[in-house]
């Protein structure tokens, strides 16, 4: 069965196209056209049906189902864009990444797909070395089993976001800025230990957070970068000079800007001053209005702009679940009214990237197209994983979203199947 999707606009990561028509077959994009140009081949031709353009002109509904042979989904007033990529997420749907089972990652993936995310980096937390090694081995097996982006994960189903790599957050973090990371398992940067982690992951570690002020951090940054791992600086009390040394050694990003970082001071800018001032450095932001206020999101936007900002969730297992007690790694976290707390500090979030996108547009006044870069193009470019994530292009898996003029999610499609479709505001 073929599917046709159309909307007011298509933003493909580079430019906007008016009145797009996307034709999908077997989960892949078969053709892209515009109602303002020659139409793509009619998937329903010869079967007694009207053309997609004719049908859409007669229906105000967002979805028109053609019995038996095809479907047409119409999103008037909405923009189609690539599905989201979350590079920093610990859990969702009641499951934690550290479980490292196909069932846990599959449940996470199904929930994330319903919120517009098609790919994510499974993010670990600081834990005993043996537990971290076990989790890395399990996650590597899942990533390998799910295979290249053209294959589907049987445990997750074909309507699920898939983990395509690992983000190692800890154990090489600051005691002073550890947040909820367990102090007793924090370690000084150690190349030999990193190599054990990397081998256990069978090369699937794509991103690592570390504190640049720790002894051995510069050497580990240089070593990890040489092995193809992107280094992000965070959970850090580093000075500006210590931060600069890590950047010179290869660090390319900053983890959840503002949170678990040395405060900005006009005499000692520290890591935060460097993150905001360095035009080449990427930087994450948890845009939920809880981890940082809207004014700080606006400041971050002015500093990083559409080329270097990355929105992340830092979500834990409570994302998508009711208030209550949940696990983040081995710790109990209490969740109430959108706030996740453990031992008196914030412990991840219950944010989803669709809400982060909508919040960011509202907080900063950025355009929807600019903000879409922060959840698609920028994380792909920073991690070097554009080839794994794909794009809205002929031959690629049909993973995309529809959002309205305020950035609100209207629809999510993963592998050619609509996971969620709601009425635009």
- The span from the CA of 221 to the CA of 246, in Å, is 7
The average pLDDT across 5-31 equals 94
- pLDDT above 50: residue 378: yes
Task: Mark whether 404 is an active-site residue.
Answer: no
- pLDDT above 60: residue 53: no
- pLDDT above 90: residue 252: yes
Question: Residue 2 has what pLDDT?
Answer: 84
- pLDDT above 70: residue 29: yes
Give pTM, 2 decimals: 0.92
- pLDDT above 70: residue 133: yes
- pLDDT above 50: residue 425: no
Of 82-91, 152-161, 316-325, 330-339, give the lowest mean pLDDT range: 152-161
Nearest CA among 287, 202, 195, 189 for reference residue 235: 189
- pLDDT above 50: residue 231: yes
Question: Residue 137 has what pLDDT?
Answer: 98
Q: What is the pLDDT of residues 382-415, one digit of tens each?
A: 999 998 898 899 999 999 999 999 999 999 999 9
CA angle 398, 85, 16 (to 5 degrees): 60
Q: What is the pLDDT of residues 142-168, one digit of tens each?
A: 999 876 444 434 434 568 999 999 999
Question: Residue 61 has what pLDDT?
Answer: 45
pLDDT-based confidence at 41, cuts 50/70/90?
Answer: very low
Annotation: CATH topology of 83-389: TIM Barrel (3.20.20)
What is the helix (H) or strand (E) element at residue 132, kind and residue range? Answer: helix 129-146
Question: Residue 59 has what pLDDT?
Answer: 46
What is the helix (H) or strand (E) element at residue 221, kind and residue range? Answer: helix 217-226
Nearest CA among 346, 354, 345, 362 for reference residue 295: 362
Question: Residue 222 has what pLDDT?
Answer: 98
Q: What is the pLDDT of residues 161-213, one digit of tens each?
A: 999 999 999 999 999 999 989 999 999 999 999 999 999 999 999 999 999 99
The average pLDDT across 379-384 equals 98
Question: Residue 300 has what pLDDT?
Answer: 98
Question: Residue 159 has what pLDDT?
Answer: 83
Asked if 248 and 217 count as a contact pair (C-beta separation under 8 A), the reply is: no
Question: Residue 62 has what pLDDT?
Answer: 53
Question: Residue 63 has what pLDDT?
Answer: 53
User: Between these two residues, 224 and 59, which has the higher pLDDT value?
Assistant: 224
Spans of all domains in the chain? 2-81+391-421, 83-389
- pLDDT above 80: residue 43: no
The average pLDDT across 91-103 equals 97
- The span from the CA of 118 to the CA of 401, in Å, is 10
Q: Return the percentage of the chain with pLDDT > 70, whole number.
A: 88
Question: Residue 155 has what pLDDT?
Answer: 39
Question: Residue 138 has what pLDDT?
Answer: 98
The average pLDDT across 305-309 equals 97
- pLDDT above 60: residue 333: yes
pLDDT-based confidence at 134, cuts 50/70/90?
Answer: very high
Question: Residue 199 has what pLDDT?
Answer: 98
Asked if 181 and 173 count as a contact pair (C-beta separation under 8 A), the reply is: yes
Q: What is the pLDDT of residues 274-292, one digit of tens each?
A: 999 999 999 999 999 999 9
Q: Which of 96, 314, 354, 404 is catalytic?
A: 314
- The span from the CA of 59 to the CA of 253, in Å, is 46
- The span from the CA of 372 to the CA of 13, in Å, is 8
Please give the mean pLDDT across all residues of the chain: 90
Nearest CA among 351, 406, 327 for reference residue 117: 351
Q: Return the percentage of the chain with pLDDT > 90, whole number.
A: 81
- pLDDT above 70: residue 349: yes
The average pLDDT across 48-57 equals 49
The average pLDDT across 117-144 equals 98
- The span from the CA of 302 to the CA of 177, in Å, is 25
- The span from the CA of 117 to the CA of 259, in Å, is 23
- The span from the CA of 45 to the CA of 240, in Å, is 64
Of 138-142, 248-252, 391-395, give the lowest mean pLDDT range: 391-395
Tokens, residue 268: 């000692």
Q: Which of 32-36, 46-50, 134-138 has the highest mean pLDDT?
A: 134-138
Architecture of the domain delimited by 2-81+391-421: Roll (2.30)
């Amino acid at each position: 069965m073929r599917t046709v999707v159309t909307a007011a606009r298509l933003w493909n990561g580079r430019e906007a196209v008016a009145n797009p028509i996307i034709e999908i077959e077997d989960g892949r994009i078969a053709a892209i056209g515009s109602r303002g140009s020659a139409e793509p081949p009619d998937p329903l031709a010869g079967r007694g049906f009207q053309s997609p353009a004719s049908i859409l002109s007669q229906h105000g509904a967002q979805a028109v189902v053609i019995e038996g042979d095809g479907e047409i989904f119409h999103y008037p007033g909405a923009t189609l864009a690539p599905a989201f990529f979350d590079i920093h997420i610990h859990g969702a749907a009641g499951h934690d990444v550290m479980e490292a089972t196909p069932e846990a990652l599959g449940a996470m993936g199904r929930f994330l797909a319903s919120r517009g995310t098609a790919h994510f980096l499974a993010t670990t937390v600081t834990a005993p070395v043996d537990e971290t090694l076990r989790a890395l081995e399990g996650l590597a097996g899942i990533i390998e089993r799910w295979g290249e982006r053209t294959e589907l994960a049987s445990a997750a189903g074909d309507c699920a976001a898939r983990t395509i790599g690992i983000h190692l957050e800890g154990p090489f973090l600051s005691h002073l800025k550890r947040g909820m990371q367990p102090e007793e398992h924090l370690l000084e940067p150690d190349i030999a230990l990193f190599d054990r982690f990397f081998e256990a992951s069978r090369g699937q570690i794509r991103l690592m957070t570390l504190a640049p002020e720790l002894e051995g951090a510069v050497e580990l940054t240089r070593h990890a970068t040489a092995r193809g791992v992107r280094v992000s600086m965070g959970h850090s009390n580093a000075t500006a000079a210590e931060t600069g040394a890590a950047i010179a050694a290869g660090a390319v990003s900053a983890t959840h800007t503002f949170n678990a970082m040395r405060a900005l001071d006009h005499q000692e800018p520290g890591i935060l001053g460097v993150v905001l001032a360095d035009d080449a450095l990427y930087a994450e932001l948890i845009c939920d209005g809880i981890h940082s206020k809207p004014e700080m999101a606006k400041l971050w936007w002015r500093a990083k702009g559409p080329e270097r900002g990355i929105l992340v969730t830092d979500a834990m297992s409570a994302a998508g679940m009711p208030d209550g007690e949940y696990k983040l790694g081995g710790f109990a976290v209490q969740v109430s009214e959108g706030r996740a707390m453990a031992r008196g500090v914030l412990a991840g979030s219950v944010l989803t990237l669709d809400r982060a996108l909508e919040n960011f547009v509202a907080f900063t006044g950025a355009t929807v197209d600019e903000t879409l870069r922060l959840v698609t193009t920028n994380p792909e470019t920073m991690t070097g994983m554009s080839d794994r994530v794909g794009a809205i292009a002929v031959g690629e898996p049909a993973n995309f979203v529809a959002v309205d003029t305020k950035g609100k999610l209207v629809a999510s499609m993963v592998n050619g199947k609509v996971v969620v479709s709601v009425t635009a505001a």
